[in-house]
């Protein structure tokens, strides 16, 4: 089934945007690991809607209820299952969308795939709402990784035309990671925050939306993790990253820029730092042959503009089999990049822990 993923660590997601609850089952967690619930709630809050003008007005507490696999504050080793109840649904806003397909959404492809039986309200199982359980699972995985001195972080590399600098331009450490985690718009160039906010609010004012790029960095990972070809670090992470709604592109290190460079400009030359092997540059994003080389893992993810916009668009009515104009109503994010930051970190942590286990 498409709702299941993993080898050593297995996850299974379930639920719909306007159903009673969404949730996840995690199998393969280490036994006896003490989970910091306060930390989980902080991570959930980073993704949660309704906190500012930059996101949808839908308000959800996103507090997970753990049903199994957790006893006296620690993992039992059996499957850990948690649900997140939905509460602030305006399902009436979606009545027309049973027949009229929203451009940029999975309405049409999902209708065809499931013979019209899919829950179309709020996007149903295709909704970004389903990423909340991924953040729950990812926050547990991040805690396990951090117990091994491995840290996952992200920043907003770009929103619209406003761009931040790369992780490769700074010395990525725990202090930077801690600082970025507490920001709604985590940036390396702090002066860009107002510009990015204006980019989002201008799109919202125009009845439109805007996309962007998230860069993720992972430090503390030792060399030798991953396998070539089908279980490479890149293929494992890319599989999970492309499972996140709205992700349309992934690159590691210099990525697509390598097409215009020569080998001498792409190669990462080695040196010894006492007993530790390092490279002068990190153009390959810490991965060679699908295996970590000990340098920070660096990758970027492209998030498309939110497809639900207030502007009138051309569409089709599949019940009446005719062309029809559509103006989408309801509550929607003018930009989902900032809310996607903890989601990208979470799936990266899930994938990395699976490789390490």
Q: Annotated binding site for FMN: which residue ranges?
A: 125-127, 289, 304-308, 331
Burial 168-207 (b: 16+ CB within 10 A, else e): beeebeeebbeebbeeebbbbeeebbeebbebbeebbeee
In whole angstroms, give the CA distance from residue 333 to residue 340: 11
Which candidate, 139, 150, 149, places its Cα nearest to that of 11? 139
Tell me if 80 sits within 8 A of 63, measured CB to CB. Answer: no
Burial of 51 (0-12, 13-18, 19+ CB in 10 A): middle
The answer to whether 276 touches 224, Cβ cutoff 8 Å, is: no
Instruction: Give the Cα separation of 335 and 33 in Å (integer).
Output: 36
Binding residues for NADP(+): 47, 53
Determine the Cα–Cα distance for residues 78 and 30; give it in Å rounded to an integer. Answer: 9
* Burial of residue 260 (number of CB atoms within 10 Å: 0-12, 13-18, 19+): exposed
Binding residues: 47, 53, 125-127, 289, 304-308, 331
Q: How far apart are CA 237 and CA 221, in angstroms?
A: 14
């Amino acid at each position: 089934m498409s709702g299941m993923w993993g080898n050593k660590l297995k996850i299974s997601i379930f639920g719909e945007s306007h159903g009673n609850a969404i949730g996840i089952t995690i199998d393969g967690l280490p036994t006896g690991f003490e989970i910091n619930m306060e930390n989980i709630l902080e991570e959930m809050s980073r993704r949660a809607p309704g906190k500012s003008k930059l996101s949808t007005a839908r308000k959800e507490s996103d507090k997970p209820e753990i049903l199994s696999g957790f006893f006296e504050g620690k993992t039992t080793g059996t499957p850990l299952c948690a649900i997140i109840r939905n509460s602030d649904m305006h399902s009436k806003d979606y009545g027309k969308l049973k027949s009229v397909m929203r451009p940029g959404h999975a309405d049409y492809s999902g209708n065809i795939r499931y013979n019209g039986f899919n829950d179309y309200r709020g996007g149903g199982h295709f909704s970004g709402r389903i990423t909340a359980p991924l953040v729950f699972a990812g926050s547990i995985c991040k805690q396990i990784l951090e117990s091994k001195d491995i840290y996952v972080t992200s920043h907003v590399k770009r929103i619209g035309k406003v761009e931040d600098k790369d992780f490769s331009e700074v010395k990525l450490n725990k202090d930077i990671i801690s600082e970025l985690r507490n920001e709604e718009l985590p940036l390396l160039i702090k002066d860009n925050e107002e510009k990015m906010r204006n980019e989002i609010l201008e799109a919202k004012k125009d009845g439109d939306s805007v996309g962007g790029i998230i860069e993720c960095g992972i430090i503390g990972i030792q060399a030798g993790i991953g396998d070539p070809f089908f279980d490479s670090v890149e293929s494992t992470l890319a599989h999970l990253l492309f499972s996140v709604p709205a992700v349309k592109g992934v690159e590691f290190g210099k990525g697509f820029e390598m097409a215009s460079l020569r080998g001498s400009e792409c190669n990462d030359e080695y040196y010894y730092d006492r007993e530790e092997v390092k490279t002068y540059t990190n153009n390959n994003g810490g991965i060679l042959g699908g295996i970590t080389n000990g340098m920070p893992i660096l990758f970027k993810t492209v998030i498309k503009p939110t497809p639900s916009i207030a502007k009138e668009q051309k569409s089709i009515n599949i019940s009446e089999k005719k062309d029809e104009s559509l103006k989408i109503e309801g509550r929607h994010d003018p930009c989902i990049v900032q809310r996607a930051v903890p989601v990208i970190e979470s799936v990266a942590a899930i994938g990395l822990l699976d490789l390490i286990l």
